[in-house]
Amino acid sequence: MGGGIGGLTAGLSLLRAGCDVHIYERASRLSEVGAGVQVSPNASRLLHRLGLSDALAATGVKPLAWHQRRWDDGRTLLRAPLAEALEATYGFPHYQMHRADLLAALASALPPSRVHTGHRLTGFTDHGSYVEARFADGPRVEADVLLGADGIHSAVRQGLFGPDQARFTGCVAYRGVVPAERLRHLNLEVTAQIWLGPGRHFVHYFISGRRFVNFVAVVEQDRWTRESWTDQGSVGDALAAYDGWHPQVREIIGAADETYVWALFDRPPLPRWSAGRVTLLGDAAHAMLPFMAQGAAQAIEDGAALAECLRRDRFVPDALRRYEQVRLPRTSRMQEISAGNKTRFHLPDGPAQRDRDQQMTAGSQAWSFNALGWVYEHDAAAVEIGGEDQQMSIRSAAEGRMT
């Protein structure tokens, strides 16, 4: 199991369910590069149950609204309330967080002896009654279940279903984190602002107790040769991509010391995630575009559902099939809607764009957070399955990182 947000959440959920869990991470230490993450109520309810409410409140920022704006004049297209309104409706808060803050909260809740860094998975064998995982540095581990939370280039998925290629979606993203002090003159609201424009969009919001402003600038591009979360970008290139955009957008980009750039890849929904005693989680199972801000939340949901399935079903293959059955339709729908938002966000100025803007300005139900009730009210741990409670040993191995 990778040591990213999804992998650590799954490990903690499984420990709380009474399982004997060990987490294996390829990197030499647990870390997240500078970027923000949205923790919506469907994820925060699960993290609160894991005892992380104080940690989330300490560094998370509760946005007042989703504020969608036009790229050139800054005109408001839609302002959907969050904060108190969202918490009152769904019972749990929405947080904007630095990924590193969320990862640190999860890691601190796990016993250090359960997390093993510097382990690159090279292969595994399902022997029927147990799984054997093999690592580059020599050790072999036997377990009842192998969980691959090893990201979009998952070695566990490749071992299950053979090699495949992620799809380049025609978008690249510049991302950066700016000290909020540098932007004080802009009097930024505590909202998640999404600026929509031809062939690109721009998102910014506060993180880390409002000490920083996170931004993501997504630009359509014809091709890309590699995918990485750590490729150094150019502030100048990002500014050039947003030439002519509203001054607030350009000032936020220009205030960054550095940017990173990465291509956005996804995969079509898999027909299945599991085989025997091996299954997948997060981007390894359902990589999606970030245009619903649900990538991390869905990985968190996966962990909660898997823990409940394994807690209540004695026969591991049945438990993993049930996990796949309850999760695959929901995540496939998220993938589809996220991909569709790329088109809606990036419409060229013209009749279709004006129709979209008119619907949003009129407060169309399709754009309000009420229309996302199926996302936010969902409790991934409420899995109805038969079987008796049990304890089992779970050794989850993976390489790479969760996104």
Which residues are the active-site residues?
Answer: 205
283/191 Cα distance (integer angstroms): 27
Q: Is the CB of residue 370 less than 8 Å from the CB of residue 120? A: no
SS3 sequence of 256-316: CCCCEEEEEEECCCCCCCCECCEEECCHHHHCCCCCCCCHHHHHHHHHHHHHHHHHHCCCH
Work out the angle between the directed axes of helices 41-49 and 5-16 (0-180°, nearest 10).
40
Count CB-CB contacts under 10 A for residue 183. Answer: 18
Scanning the structure block, which residue is given the tokens 């049990």?
Answer: 390
Look at residue 243 and give its three-state secondary structure: coil
Cβ neighbours of residue 47 under 8 Å, at least 6 residues apart? 9, 39, 53, 56, 105, 300
Between CA 313 and CA 332, with CA 295 as vertex, the angle to 5 degrees is 65
Instruction: Provide the token pair at 342.
Output: 């790329």
Of the candidates 301, 380, 276, 390, the residue with the CA atom closest to the CA atom of residue 17:
390
Please state, in angstroms and as integers, the Cα–Cα distance from residue 115 to each residue in 28, 107, 109, 207, 230, following that order: 11, 9, 11, 27, 23
158: Cβ contacts below 8 Å, ≥ 6 apart: 164
Alpha-carbon distances of 57 from 44, 190, 297, 370, rounded to whole Å? 11, 15, 17, 24
Name, in order, each residue with C-beta under 8 angstroms of 324's C-beta and a sequence gap of 6 or more.
272, 273, 274, 279
